[in-house]
């Protein structure tokens, strides 16, 4: 099993999931997205024609992309540690519900706000279509969703209550990586979101996951 790893919020989210989950062993292959290695063969011909990172290739050659699919797969096959999805159908449903909510309501909007700006046009070099006129709405919807999350977090340690889940890792992963280029994401006043973000930041693995994993065998 090989993880194709790189910079950016999606690879960070999977690395943080791997570290928090534990019980996962894999080979790591870094891919240099800054120099478009992900847009050329052998990556596009042998791993992912879409050029997205991360990707997980299984020993039989099957390629899994999409961060939530990768995380759920790794959670299922982990040989130690504690599930980050849930121990029963109800817990798993709550994790999946909140993961989809925070991604679609929050992450997707502020990442697209960045993707629709000038810095991203230089980064993507034509591999994404920018639409600057969408940015005002994307910022507004992100802020509305974070305001709602602030109310939803009242009295909770994590998004699903007392247990750390994929929902926390996806939302924290995206905010933590994008905050330098989306500076309006973490304003004063959203007390519950700020406290949750601080709790997540203070976890040991949150800093450990910032750099791509070294090439070669990984066991965590």
With contact defined as beta carbons under 8 Å apart, do 113 and 182 qualify? yes
DSSP conformation class of 214: P
Single residue of 140, 195, 207, 217 touching its own copies by CB under 8 A: 140
Please report whether residue 90 would count as binding its own copies according to CB under 8 A.
yes
| Measured distance CA(131)–CA(144) in Å, rounded | 21
Please report whether residue 64 would count as binding its own copies according to CB under 8 A.
yes
- At residue 26, the 3 state secondary structure works out as strand
Please report whether residue 93 would count as binding its own copies according to CB under 8 A.
yes
Single residue of 34, 77, 207, 217 touching its own copies by CB under 8 A: 77
Interacting positions 94-133 with its own copies (CB under 8 A): 94, 96-97, 100-101, 104, 108, 129, 131, 133
Of the candidates 166, 187, 189, the one whose C-alpha atom is nearest the C-alpha of residue 17 is 166
Of the candidates 181, 168, 140, the one whose C-alpha atom is nearest the C-alpha of residue 16 is 168
Please report whether residue 62 would count as binding its own copies according to CB under 8 A.
yes
- At residue 97, the 3 state secondary structure works out as helix
Residue ranges binding its own copies (CB under 8 A):
50, 58, 60, 62, 64-66, 68-70, 72-73, 76-77, 89-90, 92-94, 96-97, 100-101, 104, 108, 129, 131, 133-134, 136-137, 140-141, 148
């Amino acid at each position: 099993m090989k993880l194709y790893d790189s910079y950016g919020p999606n690879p960070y989210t999977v690395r943080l999931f791997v570290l928090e989950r534990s019980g996962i062993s894999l080979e790591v292959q870094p891919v240099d997205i800054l120099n478009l290695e992900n847009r050329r063969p052998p990556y596009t011909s042998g791993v992912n024609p879409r050029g997205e990172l991360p990707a997980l290739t299984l020993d039989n050659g099957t390629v899994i992309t999409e961060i939530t699919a990768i995380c759920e797969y790794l959670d299922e096959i982990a040989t130690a540690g504690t599930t980050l999805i849930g121990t029963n159908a109800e817990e798993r449903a709550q994790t999946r519900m909140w993961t989809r909510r925070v991604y679609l309501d929050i992450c997707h909007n502020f990442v697209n706000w960045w993707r629709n700006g000038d810095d991203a046009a230089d980064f993507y070099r034509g591999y994404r279509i920018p639409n600057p006129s969408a940015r005002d709405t994307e910022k507004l919807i992100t802020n509305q969703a974070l305001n709602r999350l602030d109310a939803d977090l009242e009295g909770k340690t994590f998004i699903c209550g007392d247990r750390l889940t994929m929902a926390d890792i996806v939302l924290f992963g995206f905010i933590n990586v994008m905050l330098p280029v989306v500076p309006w994401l973490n304003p004063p006043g959203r007390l519950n979101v700020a406290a949750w973000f601080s709790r997540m930041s203070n976890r040991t693995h949150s800093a450990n996951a910032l750099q791509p994993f070294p090439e070669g065998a990984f066991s965590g």
